[in-house]
């Protein structure tokens, strides 16, 4: 049992929480959660999403961190080693492989969207969007995403930024960044919440009602699958990210308590983003089905009308870019750690190589809003939508289910016990969830979506 990983260690439990929250809190909360909620009718979707976080998400965060801290390596090698030590087939490492692959898909899409965010930093700062109304904010967004050259430029820049930090390793880049950026993001988001309460008038209540009134007749199995996928995505689950970050966690900290903190932070940010964005949707008569552009349309409207909006707006998009970067590094770290363990290549070389692959894959998403508008892959979805669907609705829940099964049925109870200083009853309860409850829930949702 290693007490250290060869990749480095977080210097304290707090840093682990910030790094894991840095991974969890990202575009999934601020960009994806509001528009996916909007497209799926609001309240009932949010309820299922919250249920998935509590029932499936938190236990699988615990499971991933337990495995990671015990193995202290990349997910592929951790799963191979823990299988071996439990006297089981090392075939289980395929789950690690799957996860690494999923990481590329997610990063490729993520980098394109994060590129949009960075472009909006410049647009806000230049005063380009000062005083926009709903119609012109929408047009400005469309015009921007159709400009393939600049979208590509920003995608490239974001990928370089991500790989730069990954190349610097665990301690020297991420730690410093997350320590300052996460609190700053929280602060600015709180200010936006206040702005939304004060200025949107009756639309505020409408926005809240949209998010929190449960109309079950609106809920299809397809929407349940989306809510579950969003829960996995927002907690960075199902591909080994939390396992990898767990490998760098100090031995003493309590894993269940830490996992709960991460989930609470992550969920609060998503709900806050909803509280900011939905009232703006109603106050400006935007259709709530504006898709991936929702955040890029609503926020400029808000900032455009607020005193000091140019400064706040610029700062906000800067922080969202950083929130994105503290997430994107965590998508490639599992694959990166594995290559560093496996080969003699230096970390910077590995980072450059992996970044190049993800960058190439990202071209498909970048072009989905311009040249390849009409290209259809999976069931009528364009490239961007197909990657998003494949990763969030299939790969992450599947990966999470397999990780839960692995923890519950394959790994020796004594190994799990070693990482969890809880009562025997609590341990049994946890094991029951990862053995039965979480896998069954994922399985049922899969099957029901297929049967429809």
Contact between 26 and ligand TRP by CB under 6 A: the answer reads yes
Angle at 267 between CA 159 and CA 39, to 5 degrees: 75
Q: Can residue 108 be called a binding residue for ligand TRP (CB under 6 A)?
A: no
Among 37, 234, 310, 315, binds ligand TRP (CB under 6 A): 234
Q: Which is nearer to ligand TRP, 19 or 152 (CB)?
A: 19
| Cβ-based burial of 410 (10 A; exposed 0-12, middle 13-18, buried ≥19) | middle
Q: Residue 327 interacts with ligand TRP (CB under 6 A)?
A: yes
Q: How far is 185 from 180, CA to CA, in rounded Å?
A: 9
Interaction residues for ligand TRP, span 403-442 (CB under 6 A): none
Comparison of 145 and 236: residue with beta carbon closer to ligand TRP: 236
| 106 touches ligand TRP by CB under 6 A | yes
Q: Is 233 in the site for ligand TRP (CB under 6 A)?
A: yes
By beta-carbon proximity to ligand TRP, the closer residue of 196 and 327 is 327
The correct pick among 15, 18, 29, 445 for binding ligand TRP (CB under 6 A) is 29
Classify 235 as helix, strand or coil: coil
In the complex, the smallest distance separating the C-beta of residue 248 from ligand TRP, rounded to whole angstroms, is 15
Which of residues 196, 236, 284, 386 is near ligand TRP by CB under 6 A?
A: 236
Query: Does residue 331 belong to the site contacting ligand TRP (CB under 6 A)?
Result: yes
For residue 374, what is the DSSP state? T
Q: Which of 121, 116, 120, 125 is nearest to 158 (CA)?
A: 116
Residue 239's closest CA among 332, 342, 109? 332
Shortest Cβ distance from residue 238 to ligand TRP (Å)? 6
- 422-425: long-range contacts, CB 8 A cutoff, minimum separation 24: 422/256
Minimum Å distance from CB 92 to ligand TRP? 19
Cβ-based nearer residue to ligand TRP, 265 or 283: 265
Rounded Cα–Cα distance for residues 302 and 237 (Å): 32
Decide: is 207 part of the binding site for ligand TRP (CB under 6 A).
no
Helix H or strand E segment including 245? helix 241-247
Residue 330 interacts with ligand TRP (CB under 6 A): yes or no: yes
Name the residue nearer to ligand TRP (CB basis): 154 or 204: 154
Q: Cβ-closest residue to ligand TRP? A: 28
**How many other CB atoms sit within 10 Å of the CB of residue 87?**
8
Interface with ligand TRP, residue 200, by CB under 6 A: no
326 sits near ligand TRP (criterion: CB under 6 A): no
Q: How far apart are CA 180 and CA 162, in angstroms?
A: 17
Task: Identify the DSSP state of 422.
Answer: S
Binding status of residue 241 toward ligand TRP by CB under 6 A: yes
Minimum CB–partner distance for residue 432 and ligand TRP (Å): 25
Is position 265 an interface residue for ligand TRP (rule: CB under 6 A)? no
Applying CB under 6 A, which of residues 5, 23, 78, 108 lies at the interface with ligand TRP? 23
Distance CA 315, CA 124 (A): 9
Residue with smaller CB distance to ligand TRP, 145 or 330:
330
| 372's tokens | 């390849």
In the block, tokens 């009853």 appear at: 425
Q: Which of these ranges, 48-56, 157-165, 246-254, 324-332, lies near ligand TRP under the rule CB under 6 A? A: 324-332
324 vs 102, 114, 152, 433, CA distance in Å? Answer: 17, 6, 17, 31
Cα separation of 397 and 347, whole Å?
A: 30
| 24 binds ligand TRP, rule: CB under 6 A | yes
* Residues 386, 267: Cα–Cα separation, whole Å: 26
Rounded Cα distance, 172 and 95, in Å = 29
| Binding-residue total with ligand TRP (CB under 6 A) | 16
Neighbours of 287 (CB within 10 A): 11
Nearer to ligand TRP, 111 or 310 (CB): 111
Q: What is the DSSP string of 26-40?
A: SHIIIIIHHHHHHHT
According to the binding rule CB under 6 A, does residue 41 interact with ligand TRP?
no
Binding site for ligand TRP (CB under 6 A): 23-24, 26-29, 106, 233-234, 236, 239, 241, 327, 330-331, 396
């Amino acid at each position: 049992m290693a007490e250290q990983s060869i990749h480095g260690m977080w210097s304290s439990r707090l840093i682990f929480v910030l790094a894991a929250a840095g991974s969890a809190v990202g575009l999934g909360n601020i960009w994806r959660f509001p528009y996916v909620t909007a497209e799926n009718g609001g309240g009932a979707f949010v309820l299922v999403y919250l249920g998935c976080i509590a029932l499936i998400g938190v236990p699988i965060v615990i499971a991933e961190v337990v495995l990671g801290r015990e193995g202290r390596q990349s997910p592929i090698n951790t799963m191979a080693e823990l299988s071996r030590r439990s006297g089981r087939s090392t075939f289980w490492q395929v789950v690690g492989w799957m996860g690494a692959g999923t990481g590329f898909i997610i990063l490729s899409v993520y980098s394109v969207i994060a590129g949009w965010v960075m472009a909006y930093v410049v647009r806000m700062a230049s005063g380009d969007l000062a005083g926009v109304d709903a119609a012109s904010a929408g047009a400005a967004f469309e015009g921007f995403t159709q400009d393939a050259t600049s979208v590509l430029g920003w995608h490239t820049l974001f990928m370089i930024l991500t790989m730069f930090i990954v190349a610097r390793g665990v301690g020297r880049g991420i730690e410093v960044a997350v320590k300052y950026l996460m609190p700053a993001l929280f602060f600015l988001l709180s200010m936006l919440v206040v702005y939304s309460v004060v200025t949107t008038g009756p639309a505020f209540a409408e926005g809240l009602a949209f998010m929190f009134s449960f109309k079950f007749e609106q809920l299809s199995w397809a929407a349940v699958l989306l809510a579950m996928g969003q829960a996995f995505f927002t907690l960075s689950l199902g591909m080994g990210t939390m396992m990898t970050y767990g490998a760098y966690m100090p031995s003493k900290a309590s894993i269940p308590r830490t996992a709960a903190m991460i989930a609470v932070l992550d969920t609060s940010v998503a709900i806050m983003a909803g509280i900011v964005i939905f009232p703006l949707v109603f106050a400006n008569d935007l259709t709530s089905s504006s898709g991936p552009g929702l955040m890029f349309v609503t926020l400029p409207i808000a900032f455009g009308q607020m005193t000091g909006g140019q400064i706040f707006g610029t700062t906000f998009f800067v922080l969202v870019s950083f929130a994105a970067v503290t997430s994107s590094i965590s998508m490639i770290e599992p694959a990166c750690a594995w290559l560093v363990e496996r080969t003699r290549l230096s970390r910077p070389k590995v980072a450059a190589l992996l970044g190049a692959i993800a960058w190439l894959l990202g071209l498909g998403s970048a072009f989905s809003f311009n040249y390849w508008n009409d290209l259809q892959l999976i069931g009528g979805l364009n490239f961007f939508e197909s990657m998003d669907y494949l990763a969030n609705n299939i790969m992450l829940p599947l990966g999470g289910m397999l990780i839960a099964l692995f923890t519950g049925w394959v790994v020796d109870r004594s190994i799990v016990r070693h990482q969890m200083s809880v009562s025997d009853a609590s341990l049994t309860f946890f094991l029951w969830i990862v053995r039965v409850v979480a896998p069954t829930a994922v399985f049922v949702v899969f099957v029901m979506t297929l049967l429809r």
